[in-house]
């Protein structure tokens, strides 16, 4: 497969995966501009409703509307036919200003071996599946990966991660149920260092118990990992279920209060009309969306590209 067919395939997957969200947003915009020739206050009010009900979030919606108002005032006359182009440009610019970088490949920074990723998120968001797909993508890129089954509170979590490890062909470090997650993390990093692994991905318990308990648990895992790799973890990846809409905002709020999340993965976007949540969460929390999940297949975890995403969501 040539490079152009590769990117074409990725674009097809993105368009297909966001089709429900696009249909939802586009039908609302069509109704908002019906019978209008130019973008006026009434159209902007209707557009505000469209974005809020598409799970972009109130604060981010108001930012977008203000930007479009400024464009309309500056350009003097903007037709409703140009509205989706304005939306695409302003939302992509907003994401860029919030530090959302486009991922170019499944790679890790030079000189960081092993690169340690600690994955957090509640049960049911697709956390374990995301870890498996990440391991697959890193392995495809020629990197040596080790997984750590740090969610020791659910037997199913360990079993599910073991299935993924076997499927991808990477080693898994695990202990018995109810074992200390920090101990699992320590063993995983020790194994990774001794085997000269490139990437370590550590699962953690998917519980939103009280914030202090969660903070203490994650802090302990970090401290113990740093006995083996002093600057670990390099990435704290929060996995969110895009299909939950506004509930994903609340999960992001709780986890960012409990630990230093520096990357997001938004899953299950293919089965929902709530794709706008990606825009709102990345804007409100100033944390880059690094990956998006668009299906069940091993290759259906994609790097997030803001322009492609916005074009797929608001394209003609």
Q: Give residue 278's pLDDT.
A: 87
Is 311 within 8 Å of 17 (Cβ atoms)? no
Q: Give residue 22's pLDDT.
A: 73
The Cα-based distances of 208 to 28, 180, 247, 262 in angstroms read 35, 18, 13, 18
Q: In what order do the strands lie in the sheet with 145-148?
A: 172-173, 145-148, 199-203, 115-120, 235-241, 263-267, 289-293, 301-303
Give dist(CA 296, CA 267) in Å, integer: 10
Could you check whether the bond before residue 114 is cis, i.e. omega within 30 degrees of 0?
Answer: yes
Strands 235-241 vs 145-148: parallel, antiparallel or unpaired: unpaired
Within 13 A of 162's CA, how many CA atoms are on the CB side? 12
The Cα-based distances of 168 to 2, 135, 164 in angstroms read 24, 7, 6
Say whether pTM exceeds 0.85. yes
Q: Where are the alpha helices (DSSP H) in 81-176?
A: 83-97, 127-140, 155-168
Q: How many CB atoms lie within 10 A of CB 39?
A: 23
In three-state secondary structure terms, 77 is: coil
- Please write down the HEC assignment for all residues of 165-232: HHHHCCCEECCCCCCCHHHHHHHHHHHHHHCCCCEEEEECCCCCCCHHHHHHHHHHHHHHHCCCCCCC
H or E segment and range at residue 115: strand 115-120
Is 199 within 8 Å of 170 (Cβ atoms)? no
Q: Which of 315, 314, 316 is CA-nearest to residue 56?
A: 314
In three-state secondary structure terms, 264 is: strand
Q: Give residue 98's pLDDT.
A: 67
Give dist(CA 73, CA 77) in Å, integer: 8
Give the pair of three-digit tokens for residue 56: 């972009």
**pLDDT by 10s per residue, the chain, length 316:** 444 344 445 555 677 777 777 777 767 777 777 777 788 888 889 889 988 888 888 999 999 999 999 988 888 767 777 888 888 888 888 888 766 566 667 888 888 899 999 999 988 888 999 999 999 999 999 999 999 999 988 878 899 999 999 999 999 999 988 889 999 999 999 999 999 999 999 999 877 655 667 788 889 999 999 999 999 999 999 999 988 888 888 889 888 888 899 999 999 888 766 778 888 998 888 888 899 988 888 888 989 888 888 888 876 5
H or E segment and range at residue 290: strand 289-293
Measure the CA angle with vertex 168, ends 162 and 169; round to 5°.
85
b/e map of 71-95 (b: 16 or more CB within 10 Å)?
ebeeeeebebeebbebbbbbbbebb
Q: Where are the alpha helices (DSSP H) in 208-305?
A: 211-225, 246-258, 277-285
């Amino acid at each position: 497969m040539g490079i152009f067919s590769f990117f074409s395939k990725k674009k097809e997957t993105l368009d297909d995966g966001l089709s429900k969200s696009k249909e939802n947003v586009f039908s609302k915009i069509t109704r908002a501009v019906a019978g209008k020739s130019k973008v006026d206050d009434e159209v902007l009010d209707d557009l505000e409703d469209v974005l809020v009900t598409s799970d972009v979030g109130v604060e981010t919606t108001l930012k977008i509307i203000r930007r479009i108002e400024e464009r309309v005032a500056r350009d003097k006359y903007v037709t409703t036919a140009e509205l989706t182009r304005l939306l695409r440009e302003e939302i992509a610019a907003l994401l860029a200003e919030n530090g959302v970088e486009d991922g170019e490949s499944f790679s890790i920074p030079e000189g960081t071996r092993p690169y340690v990723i600690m994955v957090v998120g509640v049960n049911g968001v697709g956390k374990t599946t995301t870890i498996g797909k990440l391991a697959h993508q890193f392995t495809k890129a020629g990197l040596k990966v080790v997984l750590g089954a740090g969610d020791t509170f659910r037997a199913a979590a360990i079993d599910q991660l073991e299935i993924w490890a076997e499927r991808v062909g990477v080693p898994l470090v695990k202990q018995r149920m109810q074992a200390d997650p920090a101990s699992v993390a320590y063993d995983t990093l020790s194994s990774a260092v001794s085997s000269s692994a490139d990437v370590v991905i550590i699962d953690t318990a998917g519980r939103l118990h009280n914030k202090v308990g969660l903070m203490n648990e994650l802090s302990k895992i970090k401290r113990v990992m740093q006995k083996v790799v002093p600057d670990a973890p390099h990435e704290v990846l929060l996995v969110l279920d895009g299909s939950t809409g506004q509930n994903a905002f609340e999960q992001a709020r709780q986890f960012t209060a409990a630990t230093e999340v520096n990357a997001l993965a938004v899953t299950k976007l293919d089965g929902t009309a709530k794709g706008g949540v990606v825009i709102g969460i990345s804007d409100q929390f100033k944390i880059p969306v690094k990956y998006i999940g668009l299906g069940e297949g091993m290759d259906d975890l994609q790097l997030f590209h803001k322009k492609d995403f916005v074009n797929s969501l608001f394209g003609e």
